[in-house]
Amino acid sequence: MMNFFGKLFVIATFSLSVLFLALAIGVYANHVTYKGKDAKTSPGVIDRTQQKITELAYSKDRAEEHYRRAFNEMNTVEADRALRRRLHDAKLTMLRAGVDDKNQPVANPVQELEYDKVSGLLAIKVIGATPIQYRGEPLLSIDAYVKSMAVVDRDIGDEQKKIADLQVQLANLSTQMQGGPDLIANPGLIRLKANQVDAKRRAEAEEEFLKPILANRYAEAVLLLKREAGLRQRLAQASGKSGSSVAGN
């Protein structure tokens, strides 16, 4: 029994020895130099951390200075926020309605935005900037364009009504010219013209056909008139001779 515990103790001692040996080798191989002999040639962890702290201290001072300057600028802007809000509302009202902050009409309500060269913020003035032009004419306010669009829309409606009336008139005239569904009751002017042209052509053809007959009848009439005149002359002569004979007896 004692031999068993002795062997077990020897094995445990040997195992722990090997474990501590491996730990010692690992610590020796990966030892960390906290403080080097020379901070420039072989700095330790503390030296590197101290150098990093020194480098970041300058950045910290710069960041704090930038923060203070930005904070002061923010205070300045915040102090002008109400004024700039009124400026924004005034410019927006001028753009929409064409009046300034005193409700007075503005000739050129659409103006370019001007910025302060120092602060880079919008210049605090309602009017006086350069007007924005389009095709050589200053732009008007939104309300002015809305009213103009309403007038144009009304004119468009009137023109559309005129176009609809003209289309109805065109349809009626087309029916009058071309005729309706019942060509007998409403043949149309084109068909009537065609009928008249056809009647004229037939009349001219009939006239050409009757010209020789009329010429013959005219010649016969002239001849008959001449014969009638001759017979009347002879009848007159015969009547004169008869009267002379009765008077002699």
Does pLDDT of 93 surpass 90?
no
C-alpha gyration radius of the chain: 63
186 occurs within a structural domain: yes
Number of alpha carbons in the 13 Å side-chain half-sphere of residue 234: 6
68 occurs within a structural domain: yes
Does pLDDT of 247 surpass 80?
no
199 occurs within a structural domain: yes
In order, the DSSP letters of 155-215 are HHHHHHHHHHHHHHHHHHHHHHHH--S-TTT---HHHHHHHHHHHHHHHHHHHHHHHHHHH
Does pLDDT of 164 surpass 70?
yes
Q: What is the mean pLDDT of the chain?
A: 82
242 occurs within a structural domain: no
Domain end (from 140, 160, 187): 140
pLDDT of residue 67: 92
pLDDT digits (tens, 9 = 90+) for 70-87: 898 888 878 878 888 888
- Owning domain of residue 38: 31-78
Helices (H), 30-141: 45-79, 81-97
Q: If we measure between CA atoms, which residue out of 210, 206, 209, 230 comes closest to residue 218?
A: 210
228 occurs within a structural domain: yes
pLDDT of residue 242: 62
243 occurs within a structural domain: no
Instruction: Name the domain count of the chain.
Output: 3
pLDDT of residue 85: 84
220 occurs within a structural domain: yes
Q: What residue has token string 């040639």?
A: 41
Helix H or strand E segment including 135 = none
Task: Please list the residues that pair with 23 across neighbouring strands.
Answer: none
Task: Please list the residues that pair with 137 across neighbouring strands.
Answer: 134
pLDDT of residue 30: 66
Say whether pTM exceeds 0.75. Answer: no
